Structure 1
Amino acid sequence: MTPGPEQHNGAGGATARSRPDNQPRPGGEPLLAVKGLTIDLPGGAVQRGLVEDVTFDVHKGRAVALIGESGCGKSLTSMAILGLLPAAVGVVAGSVLFDGVDLLTCTKRQLRRIRGGPVGMVFQEPMSSLNPTMTVGDQIAEVRRLHLGERRSVALKQARELLERVGIPKAEKRLRSYPHEMSGGMQQRVMIAAAIACEPKLLIADEPTTALDVTIQAEILELLRDLRRDLDLAVLLVTHDLGVVADFCDDVVVMYAGHIAERTPVDGLFYEPKHPYSSALLSAVPQSGRARTSLTVIRGRVPSAGQFPTGCRFQPRCEHSVDSFCTRPQADTALTDDRRTRCGRVAGGDLTLKGAVRG
């Protein structure tokens, strides 16, 4: 059976498992509210709309996944939140409210206070993100020295405790290690230690388990789960791994070609997807217990910016496409209080999609 919300070990294999971290539906204002976010490459219409009209919320203590194939805009969206977009790329519309403050209107100095402080970031490639000329202890300590004004000796003591907290053995010795002296899993733990050094309210994690073996993936997810519980941490998780989503997240934002195709609680994605792209992603997951069967393939590929279809952006690859309807632009439609889709056929009741888990 394909991994579902209660059947995944978080590292690629399907096993029976409960999800005690799954929180009740939130109330009140979200900690992070992204509204109408639009990102463009300036210089001509052919380069417009890398990400368009992206809207979602992250509440305190909850984990929200941004999923989709490479090139769908997940990392651009996460980078835009903290003003980390490449110089040639810019936000042209929308707002990003964190704790009531619009990060898009903050100065560079204000953003520096937020990055590493109330908002932590775990990047996709720890070896590329860690400074090879500094010991890991000094890199973690630097976060506390910059944000909390601690002396180096005090910050290093806290760095040792953080290494212990993220499960690195012989932390006192490892403080003096350089990144290249550590395994990929340990480098990722160092990144997480630096990201939580000032006990943030929100953690943005961009593919934190990519390129790690199955055992280390499971350990990293368990670490993030413990941190959520201990710090009441909100997490925005960028990933392409549906097993990680099933095991760790409460809500899912499905992105395709710069649009949000579907927003849903995690159970809804696996039991009853509301966009053909979501259903296609689920069908492409390998089925355990079914040896020598062909994988379902989503035909074609994600279109490049400037080559998006004028109607539904998934329409050329969609097996449920009806030309007379799907070649027209599709509105982002509310189905319930916590579910939205950008498929007019599903919203209108003309199309029911198959989930990975059938009740």
Structure 2
Amino acid sequence: MNTPVLSVRDLVIDFEGRPAQPALVQGVNFDVLPGQSVALIGESGCGKTLTSLAILGLLPPRMRVASGSIVLGGVDVLRASERKLRDLRGRTIGAIFQEPMSSLNPTMTVGDQIGESRRLHLGESRRSARVKAVELLDRVGIPNAGERARAYPHELSGGMQQRVMIAAAIACDPAIVLADEPTTALDATVQADILQLLEDLRKDLGLGILFVTHDLGVVADFCEQVVVMYAGHVVERAGTDALFGTPRHPYTEALLGAVPQAGRARTMLSVVPGRVPPSGSLPEGCRFRPRCGYALEPCRHAQHGNTSDVHFTFCDRVADGDLVLGSKS
């Protein structure tokens, strides 16, 4: 069995100095194996981005990992020094964000930005790093790579900027790439090209990919495993086919029911009532209970779910066999 390139266990994130306030993220568990694509999904406010930032060691001020572990490439992120974390970022894990113009430096050419990572992490000369940058731009499908390497970010289209971000993310041959909504700002045609590029790189380089997204269509086409988060908890975790075919948590079923289906014109989409509760006003028991059409009195008590690594569900009624959901079709 392959050793995970990323292993997250019992992750808890909270505010420093506020012990009475519920945790922002709690009990998050998942792995990413070499060459595997894993999706982290859920509505805004469910904890996906905080989990991603914790993996990178970049949590905002006043937030902290209260307990749990994050092992990245064999290194315990939570015990690593800041110098070791800087080595991990870029060398072991690359990152692709949803808005490239917010991530790329407008004062540097794209070739220098890609090459900078290799100079810092691999000790290459400026000349060698520039040559490699051109090779990487060519690899991610940018035409006239030598000329484009001398361009500034504002001189490139949105699709090309995102390809530059991907080239920078894989510049030092990392074991895993964290892709946080990498296609949200792109039109549908460019989105498809970027996703195909990531899929090709995953297969060619054996990259593990953690894909943070709202787009369930992308998840169905691109990812092998899915981790569903709600209000800071993982509520379901399974293989993509199993989760889309037979969702077991009411929240997952509700998300899938809200996705438009091809060939079903003039059909009213299902709506999930309400919104994700803020961390300061979480309901007692199951956090999804106020929005759940299956909720009963037992749901007011703390939930534990099953212990399966194959198809985990954070719902005691499902775990006890009291509730079996039908897939939405």
The TM-score range, normalised by the shorter chain, is over 0.9
1:281 corresponds to: 255
CA distance in 2, matches of 1:162, 1:330: 48
2:78 corresponds to: 104
CA distance in 1, matches of 2:261, 2:15: 39
Higher RCO (C-alpha 8 Å, min separation 6): 1
How big is the shift at 1:28? 4.0
Equivalent residues of 2:176, 2:207 under 8 A apart:
yes
Equivalent residues of 1:45, 1:306 under 8 A apart:
no
Deviations 1:15-67 (A, max 9, x none): xxxxxxxxxxxx24322110011111223356431101111111111111000
CA distance in 2, matches of 1:334, 1:38: 18
Aligned residues: 329
Does residue 1:35 correspond to 2:14, yes or no?
no
1:355 corresponds to: 327
Equivalent residues of 1:42, 1:48 under 8 A apart:
no
Task: Return the TM-score normalized by structure 1.
Answer: 0.89
Does residue 1:79 correspond to 2:56, yes or no?
no
Does residue 1:346 correspond to 2:322, yes or no?
no
1:233 corresponds to: 207
CA distance in 1, matches of 2:242, 2:254: 15
Equivalent residues of 2:228, 2:252 under 8 A apart:
yes
CA distance in 2, matches of 1:292, 1:214: 22
CA distance in 1, matches of 2:18, 2:32: 33
User: Pick from 28, 33, 52: which aligns with 1:54?
Assistant: 28
Moved more, 35-44 or 308-317: 35-44
Equivalent residues of 1:46, 1:306 under 8 A apart:
no
Give the gaps of 5 or more residues in structure 2: none
Deviations 1:102-133 (A, max 9, x none): 11110110011110111111122211011111
Task: Return the TM-score normalized by structure 2.
Answer: 0.97
1:268 corresponds to: 242
CA distance in 1, matches of 2:273, 2:20: 24
1:201 corresponds to: 175
Give the gaps of 5 or more residues in structure 1: 1-26
Does residue 1:172 correspond to 2:142, yes or no?
no
CA distance in 1, matches of 2:293, 2:193: 38
Equivalent residues of 1:269, 1:355 under 8 A apart:
no
Equivalent residues of 1:41, 1:48 under 8 A apart:
no
1:310 corresponds to: 284
User: Pick from 141, 145, 148: which aligns with 2:119?
Assistant: 145
CA distance in 1, matches of 2:266, 2:292: 26
Equivalent residues of 1:164, 1:171 under 8 A apart:
yes
CA distance in 2, matches of 1:97, 1:32: 6
User: Pick from 309, 312, 327: which aligns with 2:300?
Assistant: 327
Equivalent residues of 1:271, 1:355 under 8 A apart:
yes
Equivalent residues of 1:204, 1:235 under 8 A apart:
yes
CA distance in 2, matches of 1:100, 1:154: 29
Deviations 1:145-178 (A, max 9, x none): 0011111111011000100000111111111111
CA distance in 2, matches of 1:356, 1:137: 47
Which residue type is aligned with residue 325 of structure 2? Answer: L
How big is the shift at 1:356? 4.1
CA distance in 2, matches of 1:91, 1:353: 34
CA gap of 1:346–1:332, structure 2 versus 1, over 3 A, is closer
SS across alignment from 1:299: coil
**Identical residues among aligned pairs (%):** 61
Moved more, 253-262 or 286-295: 286-295
User: Pick from 150, 153, 156: which aligns with 1:182?
Assistant: 156
Does residue 1:214 correspond to 2:170, yes or no?
no
Which residue type is aligned with residue 270 of structure 1? Answer: F
Does residue 1:117 correspond to 2:91, yes or no?
yes
1:127 corresponds to: 101
1:254 corresponds to: 228
1:136 corresponds to: 110
CA gap of 1:127–1:47, structure 2 versus 1, over 3 A, is farther
Which residue type is aligned with residue 310 of structure 2? Answer: D
Q: CA RMSD in A?
A: 1.2
CA distance in 2, matches of 1:71, 1:46: 20
